[in-house]
Amino acid sequence: MMAERIGARMVALGDGFARGELDVTDDVRQPAGFLHGGALVTLADTVATIGAIGAAPPGRTVLTVNLTVAFTRPVRGGTIAAEARELHRGHELAVWDVTVRDGEGRLVAAVLATLSLRPWLTATGGGAPGGLSLTG
Amino acid sequence: MMAERIGARMVALGDGFARGELDVTDDVRQPAGFLHGGALVTLADTVATIGAIGAAPPGRTVLTVNLTVAFTRPVRGGTIAAEARELHRGHELAVWDVTVRDGEGRLVAAVLATLSLRPWLTATGGGAPGGLSLTG
Amino acid sequence: MMAERIGARMVALGDGFARGELDVTDDVRQPAGFLHGGALVTLADTVATIGAIGAAPPGRTVLTVNLTVAFTRPVRGGTIAAEARELHRGHELAVWDVTVRDGEGRLVAAVLATLSLRPWLTATGGGAPGGLSLTG
Amino acid sequence: MMAERIGARMVALGDGFARGELDVTDDVRQPAGFLHGGALVTLADTVATIGAIGAAPPGRTVLTVNLTVAFTRPVRGGTIAAEARELHRGHELAVWDVTVRDGEGRLVAAVLATLSLRPWLTATGGGAPGGLSLTG
């Protein structure tokens, strides 16, 4: 699994809230020595998705529809923490924001994510007749 | 390094153009069995950044300022390919788009990235006196 | 209507394609004398939405779910043109990009829009029993 | 001026904070009867920009570099209120978020904006020798 692969981990989960952490090691750096944006997004997308699964009715799959990241500070080391918060819970779409901070509490990125709450979709091909795939 | 960690690889680089690939193995999936959004972003951000480094004047560090992904199709397996194209080249900022397709050529995500072209910034703390950090 | 209010106008519409224009007059400038970002977005959102309505099955309402703009060049005057192109057409969501250029053909903004294709939704409150509102 | 043209108005301004309002009249609706996304963005971009001008050192022009909107609820009428909050203040870039609510306090959109804080730039062409345009 991707999150485990890079060491991203959940540390708290509540109603409309989720928090995760990632250690900034060489495994998640880019060649210039900073944390790779993709590693930060892996953490942010994971916490938002797990938060949204927790908030959704049973039997829903959560897929990210849209994700925007504003990077505010390059990260060299330490541990980053991502706090995800539900902004909106609809029938079909949810919106979460995620703030990512470094070990000194400074903002390193702000994320806005729109998530789809979908019935029945599985990677192995199940789902209702007629299909409810993201793409039709 | 993050890109190597998940198997993302560059396959072509030109003027205002870059292309990379990623195999969709268990290492980059999320628990529901689909490609993790963070893995897709790792590939997309890597190709856009390498493309922008190639297009920038010598001595510049490229850092992503903003990245938006519209996910259009969940990916179960195969190899995805990301093609990055320069839309704008300014003194301080560049804008690239990246289209990500699955092995059958179907769009799986569209990405818009704003990149900062910065002198002297290094992860080990160098830089010009007076500072040119992203954050002040 | 908003588009007419600021002088935004459609000039072409095809399958998966739409084009519109806006004159940069004082009505659409901000106090520093540049085109207001909101005016540019009004044009871009209008052409993408009209394009998506043209591409959707009959009886659908198109609502913008997510819109990202990367601004690349401040605009002082002349006429801007927005070209919208369909990147993805699903059952429930469509993705369009819009490139906005000034009178000399220079890119002034790149836009990525995710649009919802919804049955029955009207501003006056109609719709199917059980509701298909964007928000539940 | 664009904001006045559609009736967008500032109602409060503080350190790292700004608030504005817009009445949802026919002037700012789209043909289906909902508030046009471009009108909402005009309000949101205006309050974030005015907030960032207030927070920036003297002599800076603020230009929006990137703006993302997640629309969560279509708006039919009443007055919407946009609250902008500074997330990050750097030397060259600032990041603000804006939450937009309807008259009943329900979230209608979440906005994430990256703003450039630039010296000397004016629409009438001034600026320092050597140029500090957004685009080079």
**DSSP state string for A13-27:** EETTEEEEEEE--GG
Please give the interface size between A and D, counted as residue pairs whose CB atoms are below 8 Å apart: 49
Alpha-carbon radius of gyration of chain C: 16
CA distances from B17 to B55, B84, B113 (A): 9, 6, 14
The answer to whether C131 faces chain A, any CB pair under 8 Å, is yes
pLDDT confidence band for A34 (50 / 70 / 90)? very high
Nearest Cα of chain D lies from the Cα of C86 at a distance, in angstroms, of 19
* Chain B touched by A47 (CB under 8 Å): no
Q: Nearest CA of chain A to the CA of B43: how many Å?
A: 8
**Interface test mutation site (partner D, options A86, A97, A107, max chain D beta carbons within 10 A):** A97
Query: Hey, what amino acid is at B105?
Result: G
Across the interface, which of D32, D34, D123 has its CB nearest the CB of C32?
D123
Q: Any idea what the Cα angle at residue C75 is, between residues C69 and C81, rounded to 5°? A: 70
For residue C22 the two structure tokens come to 């806006």
pLDDT band at A57 (very low <50, low <70, confident <90, very high): confident
Interface check B131 vs C, CB under 8 A: no
Integer-rounded Cα radius of gyration of chain D: 16
Q: Using one digit for the tens of pLDDT, what is the confidence trace for C21-43?
A: 999 999 999 999 999 999 999 99
User: What is the pLDDT at residue A27?
Assistant: 97
Encoding tokens for residue D80?
């919407």
**pLDDT digit string, tens, across residues B59-116:** 888 999 999 999 999 999 999 999 999 999 999 999 999 999 999 999 999 999 999 9
Q: What percent of chain D has pLDDT over 70?
A: 88
**pLDDT value of position D131:** 29
Q: Which is nearest to D37 in space by CA: C125, A90, C47, A77?
A: C47
**What is the reported pLDDT for A38?**
98
Q: What is the pLDDT of residue C59?
A: 85
DSSP per position, B66-128: EEEEEE-S---SSEEEEEEEEEEE-SSEEEEEEEEE-TTS-EEEEEEEEEEEEES--TTS---
pLDDT, tens digit, 9 for 90 and up, residues D43-85 = 999 999 999 999 998 888 899 999 999 999 999 999 999 999 9
User: What confidence tier does B124 reach under pLDDT thresholds 50, 70, 90?
Assistant: low
A134 to chain D, closest Cα gap in Å: 18
Q: Is some CB atom of chain A closer than 8 A to the CB atom of C136?
A: yes
B26-48 pLDDT, tens digit per residue, is 999 999 999 999 999 999 999 99
pLDDT at position A121 is 60
pLDDT digits (tens, 9 = 90+) for C50-108: 999 999 988 888 999 999 999 999 999 999 999 999 999 999 999 999 999 999 999 99
pLDDT at residue A74 is higher than 90: yes
Reported as a pLDDT band with limits 50, 70 and 90, residue D121 is low
Does position A127 have pLDDT exceeding 80, yes or no? Answer: no
**Rounded Cα–Cα distance for residues D23 and C6 (Å):** 16
Question: C85 burial class (0-12, 13-18, 19+ CB within 10 angstroms)?
Answer: middle
Question: Is A46 exposed, middle or buried (CB count within 10 Å of its CB: 0-12, 13-18, 19+)?
Answer: buried
Residue C74, chain A, CB below 8 Å: the answer is: no
